[in-house]
Structure 1
Amino acid sequence: MKIEIKDITTETVSCSNCQACCCRLEVMIISETGVPKQYIEFDKWGGETMLRLSDGWCSALDRETMMCTIYENRPWICREFEMGSYECVTQRAEVS
């Protein structure tokens, strides 16, 4: 039996093929960026996180375009999660 191993190090991610996989991760709000209150919920410890809807996706994600509707006010963690980084590619591989 031959096992195929997917090489995620050669995958190029761009705006045109982004699957917004990071928008399924829990996002803590740890600095003030102006995230509108309707996109914020509180975890069991009282910390602010991005609200995720019943489908598991971030509430700020436009499901048709797969783009952030609050991009200019997105949380710091979202700003630091770099498209095409190792973390991005790894997350894509996990949901593929």
Structure 2
Amino acid sequence: MLMDGDDVPRRFSTQDDWGGWVMRRLDDGWCAALDRDTMRCTIYDRRPDNCRVFEMGDGDCQRERQLFYAPAGVSL
């Protein structure tokens, strides 16, 4: 969910079913601002507040990366 004051480029956001603004996700389910080759945010300096509390390298981040790179059909 995007909050007042978030400075996300419009092409990376969309409205949800309830009229709130959220980060747009692509068909693979990942954020539209994520570079799939580097797994880095392409709008890092303008990322929303919710993303700022999700620190790169912390446990949640490591878990998401493991899931992303896991072979299809493997559950972690």
TM-score normalised to the size of structure 1?
0.60
Report how many residues are paired: 68
More relative contact order, 1 or 2 (CA 8 Å, 6+ apart): 1
- The match for 1:45 is 18
What value does the CA root-mean-square deviation take over the aligned residues? 1.9
Identity of aligned residues (%): 50
Q: Distance in 2 between matches of 1:92 and 1:64?
A: 12
- The match for 2:71 is none
User: Aligned pair in 2 of structure 1 residues 59, 83: CA closer, same or farther (>3 Å)?
Assistant: same
29, 34, 43: which is aligned to 2:7?
34
- Where do 4+ consecutive residues of structure 1 move more than 2 Å? 82-93
- The match for 1:78 is 51
Give the unaligned 5+ runs of structure 2: 68-75
Give the unaligned 5+ runs of structure 1: 1-27
